[in-house]
């Protein structure tokens, strides 16, 4: 793993945006694996600014997202479809038919996860995957104990995750209890990976991921086996003050 030390969340976001921008502008065709949540928000802001100021042609860009909540259709305000529209897709000129997320409202979830895995394969695989990391070392919705050989699958969300997400919904009963997520094997098939980490609450996970044993109890530890991973982490995440 290559570790990039940065001062703070803002610098982490800028460095990650630059990595994605450079990949887009240096490629004739590119498939980006995209993440949601609070960690990449500022990265998308910087990336939008870079792409629009430089008037970059994005007709060669394809995107696949890591995950989506089960039970929320694409129009639901808390779906990751809507998150991506608000924070990125509606602000740049990537063709909408080049952007893909799992269908959390699919009638047959077994078929949906198989079709999503097949879609990624048909696109030629992910060229650059963006990741965050959870406090317990999860990546995407792959919680501790997820098999390293897992492909796109349906995940039962932990009580902690459900409670963390409750702030986005009117009642706890409305919070999705499952999600569709790329599996760890799917993520590992990406040609290169950029992970972002900011804040002292991520420090234990980053240390364990980079220095600990490769074990399914810490899903992110599998990244030690990948040939091209860049970790962009700020001082607090690295316990540097």
Residue 143 falls in the annotated catalytic set: yes
From 138, 142, 151, 153, the catalytic residue: 138
Instruction: Give the CA count within 13 Å in the CB-facing half-sphere of 13.
Output: 17
From 143, 151, 153, 189, the catalytic residue: 143
Average pLDDT in the chain: 96
118 vs 240 pLDDT, higher one: 118
Q: Answer yes or no: are the C-beta atoms of 3 and 231 closer than 8 Å.
A: yes
pLDDT mean over 37-58: 97
From 136, 165, 204, 216, the catalytic residue: 136
- In tens, the pLDDT along 123-146 reads 999 999 999 999 899 999 999 999
Residue 103 falls in the annotated catalytic set: no
From 65, 67, 112, 117, the catalytic residue: 67
- Reported as a pLDDT band with limits 50, 70 and 90, residue 160 is confident
Position 97 scores a pLDDT of 98
- In tens, the pLDDT along 221-241 reads 999 999 999 999 999 999 986
Q: Give the global pTM.
A: 0.95
Domains for the chain: give ranges and CATH numbers.
2-237 (3.40.50.1360)
């Amino acid at each position: 793993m290559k570790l990039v030390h940065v001062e703070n969340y803002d610098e982490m976001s800028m460095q990650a945006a630059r990595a994605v921008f450079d990949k887009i502008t240096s490629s004739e065709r590119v498939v980006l694996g995209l993440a949601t949540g609070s960690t990449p928000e500022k990265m998308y802001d910087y990336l939008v600014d870079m792409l629009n100021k430089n008037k970059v042609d994005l007709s060669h860009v394809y995107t696949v997202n890591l995950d989506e909540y089960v039970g929320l259709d694409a129009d639901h305000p808390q779906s990751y479809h809507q998150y991506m529209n608000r924070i990125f897709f509606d602000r740049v000129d990537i063709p909408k038919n080049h952007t893909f997320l799992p269908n959390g409202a699919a009638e047959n979830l077994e078929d949906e996860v198989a079709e999503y895995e097949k879609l990624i394969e048909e696109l030629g695989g992910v060229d650059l995957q963006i990741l965050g990391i959870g406090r317990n070392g999860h990546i995407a919705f792959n919680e501790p104990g997820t098999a390293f050989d897992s492909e796109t699958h349906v995940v039962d969300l932990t009580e902690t995750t459900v409670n963390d997400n409750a702030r986005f919904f009117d009642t706890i009963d409305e919070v999705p209890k499952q999600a569709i997520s790329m599996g760890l094997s799917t993520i590992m098939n990406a040609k290169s990976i950029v992970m972002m980490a900011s804040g002292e609450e991520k420090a234990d996970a980053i240390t364990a991921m980079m220095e600990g044993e490769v074990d399914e109890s810490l899903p992110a530890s599998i990244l030690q086996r990948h040939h091209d991973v860049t970790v962009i982490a700020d001082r607090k995440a690295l316990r540097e003050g």
